[in-house]
């Protein structure tokens, strides 16, 4: 197991004790692989290839670490949500009561039941491949994540809201060049060039480019309301919003998923997307560092690819 003791205002530590006890009583050998921070935990997880299963306790940041350690390996992943943002757990219908979630994990391990879902493999020219469970953000939502990660106060969901207000206040749209493969829905995006082999290219100005495996990010923002976690596809949101006023109205609309009714918001569906700054964009004016599951990934360019069935999430039928 791996725990973020700070998640949920310290609830992570308490829930982890219960989980540890329940797993031991069920006859499992339990190793606590939690580090002193996210990077230390990731390093400890990367060194273990012998786990029967990995159970993470925390928010979407811990799901990110768990996906990184288990995606594509066949090792089942258990999730006990105690964070502020528990989007992955919510989308999978896991109990939001952490003690019920512990029960579910213990029962799934006993019964050998797991749900097979997709994950996003992220590759770029400079960094090793990374796995993302929820969504890859490369626009305003990435800037908000970066700011929220750097803030100590306020805690909880309010931190994301404060970060969003600050980023909207200094917002300027970015110029992107996108390449999509395995396109099955063009989302009505003007200027998209679609080729016979189901690839497509687009260049333009946008506030958000987000490749989503699940419907929600940031603790309930319904960024891609119809995204399915097991369709082998990414829902790619392109918000061709260029003014600060429009950016300010789009963010609150996303909580209800109402942004998709706007004519300048497009949801495409494809197997993979490569996201670059448009040619000629000076580095100082380029899009922000991409984030995945609310964690920093890498500067653009990057390719996000849906990998069908990469994750086996412990849950009972
Ligand atoms: N042992 C640890 N100590 C401190 N931070 C950790 C630890 N393990 C992971 N983290 C990091 O904490 C961050 C937030 O993690 P997580 O998503 O689990 O919680 P959260 O929902 O943001 O938490 P909170 O409820 O405190 O807002 C992530 O960047 C994660 O890597």
User: Ligand 1, from 11, 14, 38: best to mutate by most atoms within 8 Å of Cβ?
Assistant: 38
Domain map (residue ranges) of the chain? 2-119, 132-309
Q: Atom of ligand 1 at shortest distance to CA of 11?
A: 25
Name the CATH topology of 132-309.
Answer: Tumour Suppressor Smad4 (2.60.200)
According to the model, what pLDDT value does residue 316 have? 84
Residue nearest to atom 10 of ligand 1 (CA): 38
Index of the ligand 1 atom closest to the CA of residue 56? 18
Average pLDDT, integer, range 83-106: 95
pLDDT digits (tens, 9 = 90+) for 142-160: 999 999 999 988 877 788 8
How many Å is the maximal CA-CA distance in the chain?
A: 61
Predicted ipTM?
0.94
pLDDT at 296 over 80: yes
Find the distance separating the first CA and the last CA of the chain, reported in whole Å: 22
Summarised one tens digit per residue, pLDDT across range 244-259 is 999 999 988 999 999 9
Residue 285 half-sphere exposure, CB side, CA atoms within 13 Å? 12
Question: What local confidence, expressed as pLDDT, does residue 244 receive?
Answer: 94
**Residue from 1, 2, 4 whose mutation best tests the ligand 1 pocket (most atoms within 8 A of CB):** 4
Query: What pLDDT, on the 0 to 100 scale, is given for residue 83?
Result: 87
Q: Cβ < 6 Å from ligand 1: which residues?
A: 4-8, 34-38, 41, 58-62, 83-85, 156, 295
d(CA 208, CA 257): 15
pLDDT of residue 148: 93
Given phi > 0 = left and psi -120 to 50 = alpha, else beta, which region is 279? beta
What's the CA-to-centroid distance between 9 and ligand 1, angstroms?
10
Cβ neighbours of residue 26 closer than 8 Å, sequence gap 6 or more: 106, 109, 110
Q: Taking 80 as the threshold, does the pLDDT of residue 317 lie above it?
A: no
Atom of ligand 1 nearest to the CA of 35: 1
pLDDT digit string (tens) for 10-33?
A: 899 999 999 999 999 999 999 999
Distance 58 CA to ligand 1 centre (A): 7
Residue with CA closest to ligand 1 atom 24: 7
Nearest CA to ligand 1 atom 9: 38
Tokens of 112: 């050998």
Torsion of CA 215, 216, 222, 227, to 10 degrees: -10
pLDDT band for 85, please (50, 70, 90 cuts).
confident
Mean pLDDT calculated for residue range 269-285: 95
Ligand 1 atom having least distance to the Cα of 34: 1
Each residue's pLDDT tens digit, 217-238: 999 999 999 999 999 999 999 9
Residue 118: pLDDT band (50, 70, 90) is: very high
pLDDT tens per residue across span 36-69: 999 999 999 999 989 999 999 999 999 999 999 9
Same fold, 2-119 and 132-309: no
Q: Given this model, what pLDDT does residue 84 score?
A: 86
Residue 124 pLDDT greater than 80, yes or no: yes
Q: Is-above-0.95 flag for pTM?
A: yes
Considering Cα of 243, then 245, then 251, then 256, what sign does the dihedral take? negative
The strand pairing partners of 194, in sequence order, are 200
45-50 own/partner pairs: CB under 8 Å, 24+ apart = 45/2, 45/69, 49/73
pLDDT at 284 over 90: no
Which CATH architecture is the domain 2-119 placed in?
3-Layer(aba) Sandwich (3.40)
Best of 14, 59, 147, 158 for a ligand 1 pocket test (most atoms within 8 Å of beta carbon): 59
What are the CA-CA distances from residue 37 to residues 2, 9, 17, 96, 101 (Å)? Answer: 11, 15, 18, 24, 23
Cα–Cα distance for residue pair 285/261, rounded to 1 Å: 29
Mean pLDDT of the chain: 95
pLDDT of residue 155: 79
Pocket test for ligand 1, best of 61, 85, 96, 157 (most atoms within 8 A of CB): 61
* % of the chain surpassing 70 pLDDT: 100
Which ligand 1 atom sits closest to the C-alpha of 295? 29
Residue 46 CA to residue 71 CA, distance in Å, equals: 12
Kindly report the protein residue whose alpha carbon is nearest to atom 31 of ligand 1: 38
* Ligand 1 atom showing the smallest separation from residue 39 Cα: 31
């Amino acid at each position: 197991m791996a725990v973020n003791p700070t998640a949920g205002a310290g609830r992570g530590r308490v829930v982890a004790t219960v989980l540890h006890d329940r797993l031991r009583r069920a006859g499992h050998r339990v190793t606590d692989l939690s580090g002193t921070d996210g990077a230390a935990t990731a390093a400890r997880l990367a060194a273990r290839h012998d786990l029967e299963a990995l159970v993470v306790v925390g928010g979407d940041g811990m799901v990110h670490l768990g996906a990184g350690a288990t995606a594509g390996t066949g090792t089942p992943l258990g999730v006990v949500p105690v964070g502020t943002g528990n989007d992955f757990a919510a989308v999978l219908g896991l109990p939001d009561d952490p003690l019920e979630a512990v029960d579910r994990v213990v029962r799934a391990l006993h019964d050998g039941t797991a749900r097979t879902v997709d994950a996003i493999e992220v590759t770029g020219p400079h960094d090793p491949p990374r796995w993302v469970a929820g969504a890859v953000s490369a626009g305003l939502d990435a800037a908000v994540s970066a700011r929220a990660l750097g803030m100590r106060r306020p805690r909880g969901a309010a931190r994301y809201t404060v970060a969003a207000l600050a980023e909207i206040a200094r917002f300027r749209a970015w110029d992107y060049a996108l390449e999509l493969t395995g396109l099955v829905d063009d989302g009505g995006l003007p200027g998209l060039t679609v080729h016979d082999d189901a690839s497509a290219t687009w260049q333009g100005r946008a506030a958000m480019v987000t490749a989503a495996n699940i419907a929600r990010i940031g603790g309930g923002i319904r960024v891609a309301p119809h995204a399915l976690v097991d369709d082998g596809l990414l829902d790619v949101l392109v918000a061709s919003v260029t003014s600060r006023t429009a950016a300010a109205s789009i963010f609150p609309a996303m909580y209800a998923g109402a942004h998709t009714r706007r004519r300048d918001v497009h949801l495409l569906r494809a197997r993979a997307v490569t996201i670059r700054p448009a040619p000629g964009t000076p580095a100082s004016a380029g899009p922000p560092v991409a984030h995945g599951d609310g964690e920093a990934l890498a500067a653009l360019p990057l390719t996000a690819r849906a990998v069908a069935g990469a994750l086996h999430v412990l849950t009972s039928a």
